[in-house]
Amino acid sequence: KLLRDAEAKGCNIIMGLEMFIHQGAQQLKLWTGREAPLELLKETVRERLMKFES
């Protein structure tokens, strides 16, 4: 309900999975100074979730 209400008021909505992936990418950058391969992270997380849900 919170996200629906926010979206109805014109707010940008970021889903939890996207937030999780981007937080991980930022943590890698903070710890190592290197940019995270964002597309690889997205693909890997989605693949793992599909296996988990099966």
Longest CA span, the chain: 39
C-alpha to C-alpha distance for 18 and 28, rounded to whole angstroms: 16
41 sits in which H/E element: helix 38-53
Q: Given this model, what pLDDT does residue 8 score?
A: 95
pLDDT 10s digits, 1-34: 998 999 999 999 888 899 999 999 999 999 999 9
43: pLDDT strictly greater than 90? yes
pLDDT of residue 47: 94
Residues 25-53: what's their mean pLDDT? 93
CB < 8 Å & 24+ apart, contacts of 21-30: 21/45
> What is the pLDDT at residue 14?
82
pLDDT of residue 15: 80
